[in-house]
Amino acid sequence: MNDNPALVADPTVEVTGVSKWFGQKVAVSDVTCSFGPGLTGLLGPNGAGKTTLLRMLTGLILPSQGEVLVKGALPRAEVDRFRDLGFVPEESALYNTLTARQYVAYAATLTGLDQPEEAADIALETVELTGDANRQIGGFSKGMRQRTKVAAALVHNPEILVLDEPLNGTDPVQRAHLIKLFGKLAARGHTLIVSSHVLQEVERMTDRVIAIVDGKLAAAGDIGAIRRAMSDIPYRVLIECDKDRQFAAALLNSEAVYSVTVDDSRLRLETSDLLGLGSLVAGLARELDVRIVRFAPEDESLESVFRYLVGGR
């Protein structure tokens, strides 16, 4: 057993001291973590290094330093390792002139399946694209293109599935369906690594996250535990209102409010008690006859969560 939440007990994918740089730019810096059966969310703001890390996990690029092992082997050294691996890249990676069925069947053939059409039909049904299977991909919406990629990654029933922002462009119904599908695969013992820059999406899928910021491992483990670890860091809240200076002064009298900055009718607060602040703001607004236009925790955005994480280290 290990106490490092970035590592799992029975890893299928192991990342050890991995760095990747492109010229002067360091995309991933000394990341050590592992992934096992179940679903792990790979979180990080845009440009954090998630895609670079995923491309190293799938052997598409080699680390500049460190080692990635997929089921105990270097993915590049043993090409048959890719039979156990499915990858949904962030980029288009689709032939627009093919139909979804032709494309997924082609992906199946490339993976060595001898009944590619049959396998393609199963995979397309899984992502609810059966009705559009014979339409050209060029005419698909972004969500349909995403689902086609997921079908192509699933078609050979891989043990490890790496998905780079798979929910991008999907509508809420399809997002719910895909999240449910990923959950089922994880429950069956598949290893799923799903990257996203949307915290809420990941929270719906899994509790275990690996968070990357500026190419570095920023947090790992259970989302709740990470949040608790962040409890000494104040939440940031944005309020838009009239009588901004009067309202700011009133808010500062509360012990729950650490600081307030005023910027053109916008108040930015730091508080340790988000729920309590809601009641406080409502009460003060009534008392001072202040019209609140907007009350929004800035922590909703992953970027701000990570700003806290990085700043708190």
Q: Interface with other proteins by CB under 8 A: which residues? A: 58-60, 79-83, 85-87, 89, 91-98, 102, 106-115, 118-119, 122-123, 125-126, 128, 131-132, 152-157, 171-174, 176-177, 180-181, 184-185, 188
- Residues facing 267 on adjacent strands: 239, 262
* Smallest distance from other proteins to CB 113, Å: 6
Q: How many residues does the chain have?
A: 313
Alpha-carbon distance 162 to 150, whole Å? 10
- Residues facing 50 on adjacent strands: none
Looking at the Cβ atoms of 166 and 234, the one nearer to other proteins is 166
Alpha-carbon distance 23 to 71, whole Å? 30
Contact 43, 205 (CB under 8 A): no
Looking at the Cβ atoms of 23 and 131, the one nearer to other proteins is 131
Question: Starting at the edge strand that comes first in sequence, how are the strands of the sheet with 257-263 ordered?
Answer: 257-263, 266-271, 235-241, 292-297
* Smallest distance from other proteins to CB 206, Å: 17
Looking at the Cβ atoms of 15 and 178, the one nearer to other proteins is 178
| The two structure tokens encoding residue 160 | 């490890």
* Smallest distance from other proteins to CB 50, Å: 15
* Smallest distance from other proteins to CB 295, Å: 28
What is the H or E stretch that residue 58 is in?
Answer: none
Looking at the Cβ atoms of 164 and 244, the one nearer to other proteins is 164
* Smallest distance from other proteins to CB 41, Å: 20
